[in-house]
Structure 1
Amino acid sequence: MNISKIYFGAIVPNELSKFYLNLLNDGFKVKIFDKINNREIYNYFSTEVRNTFLWTFNIKNVDDFSGLANDIVAPICNNYYANIFEKENDIIVCFETGIIFVLSKNIDIVNRYLKKIPDAKLEDMCLKSSYEIHKYTDIMVDNYYEAHIYAFIFELYKKIYVRFLREELLISNKYEYCNYKFLDFKRDIYENQVTNKDGYVVQVDEILNLYSDLLDLENEFYKIYKIKKSVVNKKKIKILGIIIILVVLLIIIIKLGRK
C-alpha cells in the first residue's frame, strides 16, 4: 500500500447503507483481512480494536461472504462500526458516524466518493481536508508499515470525531445527547489500547494533538454543565424563596385569624 496522503469527508450516518451499496456496485469489495496473509496487521492491533475496526478478521467462511449479493453485503456492513473497501489501489474507510476516508492517488476517486466539507468550516473546527500519513521515526523497530497506515486512520478518526462532536455541542446545545455520544465514544473507542507493539500511536497522537482536542471538548462540556447547574441552583433558590414567603404569609394569616 504505497499511499502517503489520506482525504476525509462526511455524510449523514443514515445514508451509509446506500453509500456502501454504491461502492459495491462500482466494483469496490469489502476488504477481508486474513490472519495468515495479514499477520502483521493482526498481531499489531489489540483484540478490542480489531473487533471494532477490522472485523473481517472474524469472518469464518470467506467464500460464502464473498459470494453474497451486493444488496445483502451492504446491510451487513451497516451493522458494524467501521468498514474498509478496496478496489485495485484505492481504499475507502467508513465509520458509522458518517466520517469517511479515501486513500487514493487518483483525485477523481477522491472527488467522486467524498462529500467535502467547506474550507471555512474546516478552519473553524481546526481540521484539514487531507493529512499526510505519519511515518514512524524509529526505523530500528519499523516492522509494521501497513499496520501503521490503519493505525493512523484510526487515530485520525478519533481526532475528527472529537472535533465534530464539539461543533455539534456548541451549535445544538444538546448537552445530554452529546454527552451520551461522547461517553460511548470514549469508552468504546478512545480508551481502548490500540497496540503494545511500538510507539507509533503515541507519536501520531502527539502530531495530531489528539489529547488536546479531547481536553478541549471536555472543557466545553464542563462549562455547559456549570451553566446548567447555576441555572438549576437559581431556580431552587427562587422556589425556596417563594416557599419561605408563603410560609411566612401563612403564619401571619393564622395569627391574624386567632385574634
Structure 2
Amino acid sequence: MDRYPQSVALIAPGVAIMIAAFAVPVAMMLSMGIHGDQGFTFEYILAFVTDPFYLGIGWRTVKLALIISVVCVLVGVPLAYVMARGSRRLRTFLLICVTLPLMTSVVVRTFGWMVILGRNGLIADMLFDLGLVRRNFSLMQTETAIVIGMVQVVLPFMVLTVLGVMQRLDPRLEEAARVMGCTFVGSLRRVVLPGAMPGIVSGFLLVFSLSASYFVTPMLLGGARLPTVAASIYEAATKTLEWNFAAAQSLILLCGLLLLLFTYSLAARKANG
C-alpha cells in the first residue's frame, strides 16, 4: 500500500503530458465534427453519409481493408506456424526478415513499390517479356497496387500477433492428433487453427484498423483516382480547408473502428464466459 502513492507520482507526469499533448488536441479536433457556427449539429456527418461520392470512398476503404486483412491472414498464419515450429536459427532468420522492414520509413518503402509497380518497372517488364501485357502496362493507381503495398506494410503485425499465440500451443497436441489418425492437414484444422484463432482474430482486427486508417501508402499508390477516407480527410483539412468536415470524417472513421473492436471484445467475453 505504501508504494501506491509513489507509483502514482511516477506515472503522473507522463499521463499529464499525454493528456495535454495528445488527448486534448484530438478531442478538440473531433468535437469540430459535431459543432458548427450554430452550435451542436450533425450537418457535417450527414453531408458524408448522404453523398454517394463519399459513401463510395467509405466503401472503398472498407473493401481494401478487408482484402488486405484476408491476404495477411493467408500469408501470415502459415509463416507464423513455420516460425513457431521451426528451429531456433530458422525462427531468428524469419523474425529478422519480418521485422526488418519496420526499421525503414513507410514513405521510402512506398516509393520503392512505385518504382516496381510503375510503367517500365520490374513487374511490367516481366509481364511484357512473357507476352501477357502491352508495353505501357502499369499497376500504379490501381487497387491492386494499394493491396500489394499495404500488405507489405502491415504483414509484420499479423505475423507477430499470431506467432505469440502459436508459440504457447503445446506441440504434443499435434503429435497426439497424428497418433490418433489425423493427417498433417487434419491436425492443423482440428488442433492448430482452433488454438490460434484468438491470435488470428486479433491480428485481423489490428491489420484491418491500420489499413482503414492508413494514409501515405494508399495515397501514393492509388493516387487521386482512388481516394480512401484518410486521404479524403487530408484533402478536406489541407486543400479545401473544411476543418469541420475533415473532423466529421475522422469521427466517423474512429467510431466505426471502435464499434468493430467493441463488438469483438463483447463476443470474446461471451465466448470465454
Is this a same-fold pair by TM over 0.5?
no
Determine which structure has the larger helix proportion and give its number. 2
Output the TM-score relative to the length of structure 1.
Answer: 0.24
Output the TM-score relative to the length of structure 2.
Answer: 0.23
Q: Which has the higher contact order (CA 8 A, sep 6+)?
A: 2
Which one has the largest radius of gyration? 1
